[in-house]
Amino acid sequence: MAWKVNTKMSQRYEFLQLANKEDCNFSQLCKRFNISRPTGYKWLSRYNEKDLSSLEDQSKKPHHSKYKTDVQIEKLILDLRKQHNSWGGRKLKRRLEDLGYENIPSATTIGNILKRNGVISAEASEKATSFIRFEHPNPNDLWQMDFKGWFNMDKARCYPLTVLDDHSRYSIVLKACLHERTGVVQEALIEAFRKYGLPKRMTMDNGSPWAGHARKQLTTLVAWLIRLGIKVSHSRPYHPQTQGKDERFHRTMKVELLNHNYYSDLEEVAGAFIKWQHIYNTQRPHEALGMDTPISHYKVSPRNYPEVLPVIEYDSNDTVRKITNDGKLSVHGIVFTISRALVGQYIALRPTKIDGIIDVFYCHQKIKTLDLRAK
């Protein structure tokens, strides 16, 4: 039924010239040229006397494929990627769905679109992996706090202070600071406590201003947190995994906010932090949350921040003592250094099951163990 290859174009031209005659018997003509009537009508409908290329074979590939991504959807994907140049297929898909778009292709297809348009390389795509981390069961069970490494501005350095909720990955604090001092941290935390309430526990590393020398003494900041009824813990030395979620937050912030931008002063940094923190909390899908946003997993704490520090209360069986002006305490004639941060404060001594070993508590938290068995 097909045309002969060596005379295909000439036969088609001849057939069409004859078919256009007024007295043409079309069925008979098709039989003589050994083609079917549908084929004859197909060429008759395509024929353009001024453009003989219309007689050439056309691709049998369908003009529309159910597997081909719509041009408008592809543009949406690429436009969103320009706004968030480190987001992969999973995050882009979830964000577009959250924005109300329908028929969004799979994360794999989106990844292929990015590769096809030269947005990401195959090597970068292969490095993307998902991680499953332990998390506390409820918001505000644990907040992780740390200073990210400093970066340069025009005439000074910026030290980003970050606080992250362990359960939801919600960014509680993202503050641009000129130094790593107690007053700056306390001011930022008071603002956060007034807005979000108090967490049950906070963890931080062993650096300043939240860890004393060799972790043996309380700092003023930690003593204040304990006084608020927050349990405080420190990560093990040289073990950053304890602060894993906040460390991961720092890496994300570096890639999405700091690597490709330069800021002249603290005001400019603060503005960029506010904008990016909003995107991180409310728009950016998080793989560890099943591609949900942090805000969808977070809720404020029911524990309000007390504007006046609560009174310290101990059990009636405790031995209550006051810390002297040099931060020391004498027990059975032995002088122990407790903490200068607790000068004038009352602590409780509680015997342990081992004779001569006494635990020292400040408010609800054990801060030291004293050994009276040797001078």
> Each residue of 314-336: pLDDT tens digit?
999 999 999 988 899 999 889 99
- Residue 30 is part of which domain span? 5-55
pTM of the full structure? 0.67
Q: Which residues contact 3 (CB under 8 A, 6 or more apart)?
A: 11, 12, 35
Query: Does residue 183 sit in the same domain as residue 324?
Result: no
**pLDDT category of residue 270 using cuts at 50, 70 and 90:** very high
Q: What is the pLDDT of residue 120?
A: 67
Query: Does residue 176 sit in the same domain as residue 232?
Result: yes
pLDDT digits (tens, 9 = 90+) for 15-59: 887 788 777 888 888 887 788 888 888 888 877 665 666 667 666
Query: Does residue 166 sit in the same domain as residue 280?
Result: yes
Torsion of CA 301, 305, 306, 310, to 10 degrees: 60
Query: Does residue 175 sit in the same domain as residue 220?
Result: yes
Between 247 and 67, the more confident residue is 247
Residue 167 has pLDDT above 70, yes or no: yes
Quote the CA–CA distance of 57 and 245 in Å, as a whole number: 60
**Average pLDDT for residues 197-218, to the nearest whole number?**
79
* Strand ranges in 88-230 using DSSP code E only, listed in sequence order: 143-147, 151-152, 157-165, 171-177, 201-204
CA 304 to chain centre: 27
Query: Does residue 277 sit in the same domain as residue 239?
Result: yes
Quote the CA–CA distance of 37 and 130 in Å, as a whole number: 59
Query: Does residue 276 sit in the same domain as residue 327?
Result: no
CA 52 to chain centre: 59
**Average pLDDT for residues 130-145, to the nearest whole number?**
77
**pLDDT category of residue 5 using cuts at 50, 70 and 90:** very low
Quote the CA–CA distance of 179 and 118 in Å, as a whole number: 41
Q: What is the pLDDT of residue 214?
A: 47
Query: Does residue 200 sit in the same domain as residue 333?
Result: no
Residue 110 has pLDDT above 80, yes or no: no
Quote the CA–CA distance of 156 and 263 in Å, as a whole number: 10
Quote the CA–CA distance of 323 and 293 in Å, as a whole number: 47
**Average pLDDT for residues 150-169, to the nearest whole number?**
94
The residue among 120, 362, 139, 154 whose CA lies nearest residue 267 is: 154
Say if 39 falls within a structural domain: yes
Q: What is the pLDDT of residue 13?
A: 77
Say if 271 falls within a structural domain: yes
Sign of CA dihedral 198, 201, 202, 206: positive
Say if 314 falls within a structural domain: no
Between 218 and 212, the more confident residue is 218
Q: What is the pLDDT of residue 206?
A: 79
Residue 4 has pLDDT above 50, yes or no: no
Joined tokens for residue 207: 């650096």
Q: What is the pLDDT of residue 6?
A: 46
Residue 1 has pLDDT above 70, yes or no: no
Joined tokens for residue 331: 């027990």
CA 69 to chain centre: 27
Q: Which residues contact 330 (CB under 8 A, 6 or more apart)?
A: 336
Question: End of a domain among 15, 31, 55?
Answer: 55
Q: What share of residues in the chain are helix, strand, coil (percent, to 5)?
A: 40, 15, 45
Joined tokens for residue 51: 């453009």
Segments in 47-102 forming alpha helices (H): 71-83, 89-98
Say if 60 falls within a structural domain: no
Say if 66 falls within a structural domain: no
Say if 136 falls within a structural domain: no
Query: Does residue 106 sit in the same domain as residue 199?
Result: no
Question: End of a domain among 266, 297, 328?
Answer: 297
Query: Does residue 323 sit in the same domain as residue 207?
Result: no
**Average pLDDT for residues 206-223, to the nearest whole number?**
76
Say if 137 falls within a structural domain: no
Between 255 and 8, the more confident residue is 255
Query: Does residue 108 sit in the same domain as residue 148?
Result: no
Q: What is the pLDDT of residue 165?
A: 95
- Please state, rounded to an integer, the average pLDDT across all residues of the chain: 83
Joined tokens for residue 165: 């909720």
Are the CB atoms for 321 and 303 separated by under 8 Å? no
Q: What is the pLDDT of residue 236?
A: 63
Q: What is the pLDDT of residue 305?
A: 95
Look at the chain and report how many structural domains it folds into: 4
Cα 274 to Cα 158, 282, 362: the distances in Å are 15, 12, 36
Query: Does residue 222 sit in the same domain as residue 107?
Result: no
Quote the CA–CA distance of 292 and 284 in Å, as a whole number: 8
Q: What is the pLDDT of residue 245?
A: 87
Residue 132 has pLDDT above 50, yes or no: no
Between 61 and 272, the more confident residue is 272
Say if 312 falls within a structural domain: no
**Average pLDDT for residues 160-176, to the nearest whole number?**
94
**Average pLDDT for residues 257-265, to the nearest whole number?**
89
Question: End of a domain among 237, 264, 297?
Answer: 297
* Strand ranges in the chain using DSSP code E only, listed in sequence order: 143-147, 151-152, 157-165, 171-177, 201-204, 231-234, 319-322, 328-331, 334-337, 346-351, 357-362, 365-371
Query: Does residue 153 sit in the same domain as residue 41?
Result: no
Percent of the chain with pLDDT over 70: 84
**Average pLDDT for residues 229-236, to the nearest whole number?**
86
276 secondary structure, DSSP code: H
Residue 235: which CATH number? 3.30.420.10
Strand 143-147 and strand 201-204: the pairing is: parallel
